[in-house]
Amino acid sequence: MAEITSKLVQELRQKTGIGMMNCKKALIESDGNIEKAIEILRKKGAKVAALRAGKEANEGLIHAYIHAGSKLGVLLEINCETDFSAKTPAMLNFAKDICMQIAAANPLCVNPEEMDTTLVEKEKEILKEQLKKEKKPEKLIDKIVENKIEKFYEQTCLLRQKYVKNDKMTVQDYLNDLVAKIGENIKIKRFTRYILGE
């Protein structure tokens, strides 16, 4: 059994932003392994997010981000349960990070449910035609198309994208971590990305 020092707990807290007691518990559970502790905390964050998902999220904030050079901007709405949580440094930092994600990765929507179905059907048709030209077996085409549509969602849906500051997690993972830290239902409601001249 590894010794769980306060220095180790502090290091995990700095990496995750999660409270000291939860960090200590995760380190005990992972026998002092920081990477395993981060994974444990991430899984707990997903559980908390699932438990809080049904709660009303009528408060929140609108955050604006203007990229250097003033040719690209993002307007983002995030909802949470209380006005108090909307003003916390963790929430404000999250809003800033998500705006930078949108500026850099150019998602089309927040999640697959919001995706324009016409666009998805058109993408499926294009993929099927490509696969037929490549002489893929007919019985495999639908499965291959579904897998490629999942990849399409990973590129175009904000919550499915790899987080630009840490590609070992998705934006959804980052959101789950925030939900676990704040203890409220938090939703990325909508966003608009502006490019000068478009």
Q: Which pLDDT does position 143 carry in this prediction? A: 87
Q: Could you tell me the mean pLDDT of each successive run of 10 residues in the chain, 198 residues long? A: 78 70 80 82 62 65 93 95 88 96 96 90 88 83 88 94 93 90 88 91
Is the same domain home to 19 and 98? no
Q: Which residues contact 45 (CB under 8 A, 6 or more apart)?
A: 173, 176, 177, 178, 179, 180, 181
The owner of tokens 């070992």 is 168
Is the same domain home to 12 and 46? yes
- 74 domain-assigned: yes
Q: Which pLDDT does position 53 carry in this prediction? A: 55
- 64 domain-assigned: yes
- 38 domain-assigned: yes
Is the same domain home to 97 and 138? no
Q: Which pLDDT does position 50 carry in this prediction? A: 53
Q: Which pLDDT does position 35 carry in this prediction? A: 82
Question: Structural domain tally of the chain?
Answer: 3
Q: Which pLDDT does position 174 carry in this prediction? A: 93
- 141 domain-assigned: yes
Asked if 95 contacts 184 with a C-beta cutoff of 8 angstroms, the reply is no
